[in-house]
């Protein structure tokens, strides 16, 4: 363990009690996407207590949510700037956990771990502040609103509004109950999937169930589409590539047995691990739809929404991350991550500057309450792992800015 990584490790452990109480504060006061006003207030309040941290900007996307700040190293050296990102929004879920720090807002809950992300990045800034005389360059802190929004994710807006101006690289992490508590996972190249959603409206001509020849039955087009769309995965996507298409809702305008409906609406989701495959699947869906429309005489309108691109990690930065992690944690806990078909709007940063995204395991098998799925009403995390996120932020920044 290098001297610097040892100091970061020890400071993260020293600040652990405040880190946990900060996480609990955020947990008690969750706010939905683009409404994170008191969350942003509290982050600023906490950052103002840390020497050397300067808030650059508050408010993005025409709201007062989210902020950027920076902290400068005092050692002469390269003028590089590294960004560290935490997402700050909660979800419209009624918390079912019976803990003293449960959500104080009915129907809103930090059920994805973003409370731990904020507390981790603030603590990372505390650590970096202590080490200011020992690193060179600048650390940009990004507290991103609305990661969960899908249709209007915060990262895209922040990039458009200049949050990455002057930044040479960016690092982010997610706490995940997918992995055992204590594991720190890195992955070079494709890491998390793109997320697209779509609605398909099929219009035919309604009629009596006994006289299909007088109607144009949209359910036939829906069934054909349901089969054909899966061949885009099984027959047009290489077995060496990874993608999934799921139809998640089917609804017809008929609510009874003897009426052929006028219309059918399908909803679904498409995920892929590269932008090229994401493009190809959308184009192929359009081709299949136009063929089926012609065959069945139905009108088929596809509304295809691109939410998040795939998270693709830069190999060089991922080496830096791995190296920092090995300097901070037990080697048996530092692992290559498997592919994760979840998605993250962190990918928008990676489209602009080199980026790498780490995953930190928080599921303690001996404590079932730490093993619930993200976005569930019983989600909780193993707080004794939070220090790892804080250490990783500071460790990655120092390792990137100063080398070994």
Residues that bind Zn ion (CB under 5 A): 112
Handedness of CA 152, 158, 160, 161 (dihedral sign): positive
- Least spacing, CB of residue 194 vs Zn ion, in Å: 16
Question: Which CB, 149 or 242, lies closer to Zn ion?
Answer: 149
Check 31, 70, 148, 383 and give the catalytic one. 383
What is the distance, to the nearest Å, from the Cα of residue 260 to the centroid of all Cα atoms in its chain? Answer: 42
Give φ, ψ of 251 to 5 degrees: -145, 135
Q: Token pair 């080398």 is at which residue?
A: 403
Question: Which CB, 196 or 217, lies closer to Zn ion?
Answer: 196
- Least spacing, CB of residue 83 vs Zn ion, in Å: 18
What gap in Å lies between CA 145 and CA 161, rounded to an integer?
Answer: 13
Question: Which CB, 93 or 112, lies closer to Zn ion?
Answer: 112
296-299: long-range contacts (C-beta < 8 A, 24 or more apart)?
296/204, 296/216, 296/217, 296/218, 296/220, 296/221, 296/224, 297/204, 297/216, 298/202, 298/203, 298/204, 298/216, 298/218, 298/220, 298/221, 299/202, 299/203, 299/204
DSSP letter (8 states) at residue 279:
H
The answer to whether 262 and 218 are in contact (CB under 8 A) is yes
Question: Which CB, 88 or 401, lies closer to Zn ion?
Answer: 88
Give φ, ψ of 36 to 5 degrees: -85, 60
Has 383 been annotated as catalytic?
Answer: yes
Check 308, 336, 344, 349 and give the catalytic one. 308
Question: Which CB, 39 or 203, lies closer to Zn ion?
Answer: 39
The answer to whether 325 and 184 are in contact (CB under 8 A) is yes
- Least spacing, CB of residue 30 vs Zn ion, in Å: 12
Question: Which CB, 8 or 112, lies closer to Zn ion?
Answer: 112
- Least spacing, CB of residue 86 vs Zn ion, in Å: 10
What gap in Å lies between CA 87 and CA 93, rounded to an integer?
Answer: 17
- Least spacing, CB of residue 342 vs Zn ion, in Å: 8
Has 16 been annotated as catalytic?
Answer: no
With CB atoms as reference, the residue minimizing the distance to Zn ion is: 112
* Rounded alpha-carbon distances, angstroms, from residue 256 to 119, 173, 215, 261: 53, 50, 16, 9
- Annotated catalytic residues are 308, 383
């Amino acid at each position: 363990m290098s001297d610097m990584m040892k100091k970061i490790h020890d400071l993260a452990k020293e600040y652990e009690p405040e880190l946990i109480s900060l996480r609990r504060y955020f947990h008690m006061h969750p706010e939905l996407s683009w409404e994170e006003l008191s969350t942003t207030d509290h982050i600023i309040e906490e950052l103002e207590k840390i020497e050397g941290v300067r808030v650059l900007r508050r408010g993005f996307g025409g709201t007062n949510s989210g902020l950027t700040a920076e902290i400068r190293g005092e050692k002469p050296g390269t003028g590089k700037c590294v960004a560290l990102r935490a997402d700050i929004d909660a979800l419209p879920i009624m918390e079912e956990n019976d803990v003293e720090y449960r959500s104080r807002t009915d129907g809103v809950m930090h059920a994805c771990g973003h409370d731990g992300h904020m507390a981790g990045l603030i603590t990372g800034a505390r650590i970096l502040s202590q080490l200011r005389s020992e690193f060179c360059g600048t650390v940009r802190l990004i507290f991103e609103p609305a990661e969960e929004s899908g249709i209007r994710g915060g990262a895209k807006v922040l990039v458009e509004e200049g949050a990455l101006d002057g930044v040479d690289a960016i690092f982010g992490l997610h706490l995940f109950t997918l992995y055992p508590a204590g594991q720190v996972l890195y992955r070079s190249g494709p890491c998390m999937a793109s997320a697209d959603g779509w609605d398909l409206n099929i219009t035919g001509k309604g009629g009596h169930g006994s006289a299909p020849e007088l109607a144009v039955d949209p359910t036939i087009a829906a069934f054909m589409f349901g089969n054909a769309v899966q061949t885009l995965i099984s027959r047009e996507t290489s077995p060496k590539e990874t993608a999934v298409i799921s139809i998640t809702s089917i609804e017809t305008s008929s609510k009874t047995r003897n009426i052929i409906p006028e219309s059918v609406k399908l909803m679904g989701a498409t995920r892929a691990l590269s932008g090229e495959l994401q493009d190809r699947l959308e184009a192929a869906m359009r081709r299949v739809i136009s063929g089926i429309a012609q065959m069945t005489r139905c009108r088929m309108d596809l509304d295809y929404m691109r939410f998040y691109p795939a998270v693709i990690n830069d190999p060089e930065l991922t080496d830096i991350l791995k190296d920092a992690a090995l300097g901070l944690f037990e080697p048996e806990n530092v692992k290559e991550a498997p592919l994760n078909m979840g998605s993250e709007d962190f990918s928008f940063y990676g489209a602009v500057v080199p980026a790498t995204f780490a995953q930190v395991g928080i599921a303690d098998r001996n404590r079932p309450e730490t093993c619930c799925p993200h976005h569930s009403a019983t989600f909780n995390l193993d707080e004794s792992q939070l220090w790892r996120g804080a250490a990783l932020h500071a460790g990655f920044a120092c390792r990137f800015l100063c080398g070994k």
